[in-house]
Structure 1
Amino acid sequence: MKPAKRRKPTAIKISALTIIAVLMTTAGMSRLGLGLSAALAEADMARDTEMVADPGDPMDLLTALRMREADLEAREAALTARMGDLQVAEDRLASLLSEMDAAERALADTMATTQTAAEDDLTRLTVVYENMKPENAAILFEEMEPGFAAGFIARLRPDVAAQILAGLPPRTAYGISAILAGRNALVPTQ
């Protein structure tokens, strides 16, 4: 007879993934247990604080109620004071906004007055140039910076502008004409 073969003890093959899963599950369960016990303890504490120490003693109950009433009155007073502070702050904010609106209106009026005054000055000066002899105006326009001169030429009546440009040296007249032609070149058409 053949000797009996000895069986090798089979080792249980456990993968690393299985071990990690078991450890994670165990950790989760322990945390759940800790959280549950903490929640239960907190509920017990809340219930204990709501209970009166000795419901049979009316003086203790009366004292507890008076303390609670005093606490509520103190909270109410604090809330009333806070609401008063908030009302004062709200009133101050409304006042500041009103002042800011008034200042903004005053600034807009000043800007409009300034704009109108500047426009009035330009209109008056344009009329002066239109009433000058073209050859005298041409001498003056020749001394002006081309961009500045182009602004006035654009405001003049076309017949007066033509006479003044005709009295200017060709290079100066060309420079002013080029500025006039290019003033609106970059304006979007669509």
Structure 2
Amino acid sequence: MKLFKKRKALRKKGGGTVGLIALLLVGSAALRAGSEAGSAYAEATKDQIRETAETPKDPTSKMPGQQTMDRSEMSNLLTALLKREMRVKEQEKKIEMRSKALAVADEEITKRLAALEQAENALRETLSLADGAAEGDLARLTAVYESMKPKDAAALFGAMEPDFAAGFLGRMRPDAAASVMAGLPADMAYAISVILAGRNTKVPKS
């Protein structure tokens, strides 16, 4: 309407053909500008849509299904952790019970070792007393054999085993032992001499 009025005004004023052409050019420019503005708006809209599509999504923003899945996984993880904690506590209780049992066993072993040590000491004292008593008996018996007449002592030693007789003759005084040996049979005296000589060879020399 505005363009039409302008055209009528120009005609009244006598602008003629030149005015009409100018008016048409202005209108064409206006239409071209509007078309270009629409195209630019459309392109801008397309670019915005493309940028929105290409923009990476925030990894923290999740769909409702994904959130439900994460809660399920978290629940499973918590359940597994609780079960593991229970197993660890059970193992700790077992270890504690074993430690207590080992402590009791160690204490019992210590007591038994102490009792065995006491028994060993008592046995050692008893053996020492027995050895002392036996040594005293041997010394007294040797003195008895030394005080006997050589003939009587020889008859007694002849009835002994050579090892047993050699043990007493080795403890006697040399002169008393020689007197007894002289009254023994030759084979008996020889056997006793061999035993005494063998004992002397086993004695370490300094």
SS at match of 2:101: helix
Tell me: CA distance 1:67–1:170, structure 2 relative to 1, closer, same or farther (3 Å): closer
Does residue 164 (structure 1) correspond to residue 186 (structure 2)? The answer is no
Quote the residue 2:152 is aligned against: 136
CA distance in 1, matches of 2:183, 2:100: 78
Quote the residue 1:87 is aligned against: 103
Tell me: CA distance 1:157–1:68, structure 2 relative to 1, closer, same or farther (3 Å): same
**Structure 1 residue 91: Cα displacement:** 1.2
CA distance in 1, matches of 2:178, 2:184: 10
Q: 55-64 vs 130-139, which deviates more? A: 55-64
Tell me the number of residue pairs that the alignment of Structure 1 and Structure 2 aligns. 138
Q: 55-64 vs 126-135, which deviates more? A: 55-64
TM-score calculated relative to the size of structure 2: 0.53
**Structure 1 residue 128: Cα displacement:** 0.7
TM-score calculated relative to the size of structure 1: 0.57
Is the helix fraction higher in 1 or 2? 2
Choose the corresponding residue for 1:111, options 127, 133, 141: 127
CA distance in 2, matches of 1:177, 1:60: 97
Paired AA for residue 154 in structure 2: A
Tell me: CA distance 1:103–1:54, structure 2 relative to 1, closer, same or farther (3 Å): farther
CA distance in 2, matches of 1:148, 1:67: 81
SS at match of 1:144: coil
Rg larger in 1 or in 2?
2
In structure 2, runs of 5+ residues without a counterpart are: 1-68
